Amino acid sequence: MAQRLGMRGLARSLHGRLFNGVSLMTVRTYTEGSKLFVGGISFRTTEDSLREAFAEHGEVIDTKIILDRETGRSRGFGFVTFYKEEDAETALSKLNGFNLDGRVIRVDRATARPPRPASDFGSGMGFGSSFASGASSSEPAQDEDWGSIPSLDADMSKQ
């Protein structure tokens, strides 16, 4: 009889088994409610110090401080993911308004990022994008009559 296994079931069934002489490590999964947004992060805060502050309230499986693409500096916010949703809830209630590295941080549940608008070149901005042109990418472009420009009669004799 075939049995369907989810990720947790698969991890439990394979845990400790040997494949080609190598033991499989436990596969870790988490629920969506266990990811927290952390705002107001100091430029001095590192992912390790962020993990350390939040690990006091439960098992942290990931920390990420968002960096500016151009400068490589922190943008002042990041995310912390807990293994258990209950631990995330505890950290949210205890650390919201907490002073971390000289800055008061704001902790909230992370939400999914809204989808980006479609564009001709995939960037959402710049040449050929639907944002720059004002046209929706799902509608065909239409020529519109913008009216006429009255001629400009300049008196060139007064030079």
How much is the pTM? 0.56
For residues 81 and 154, give the distance between their C-alpha atoms in angstroms, rounded to a whole number.
69
The Cβ-side half-sphere exposure at 95, using a 13 Å CA radius, reads 30
For residues 106 and 92, give the distance between their C-alpha atoms in angstroms, rounded to a whole number.
9
The Cβ-side half-sphere exposure at 96, using a 13 Å CA radius, reads 10
Q: What is the pLDDT of residues 137-151, one digit of tens each?
A: 455 555 555 555 566
| Residues 129 and 120 sit within 8 Å (Cβ to Cβ) | yes
Two structure tokens written together for 86: 């209950």
Res 116 pLDDT > 90: no
| Residues 34 and 91 sit within 8 Å (Cβ to Cβ) | no
Q: What is the pLDDT of residues 59-71, one digit of tens each?
A: 999 999 999 999 9
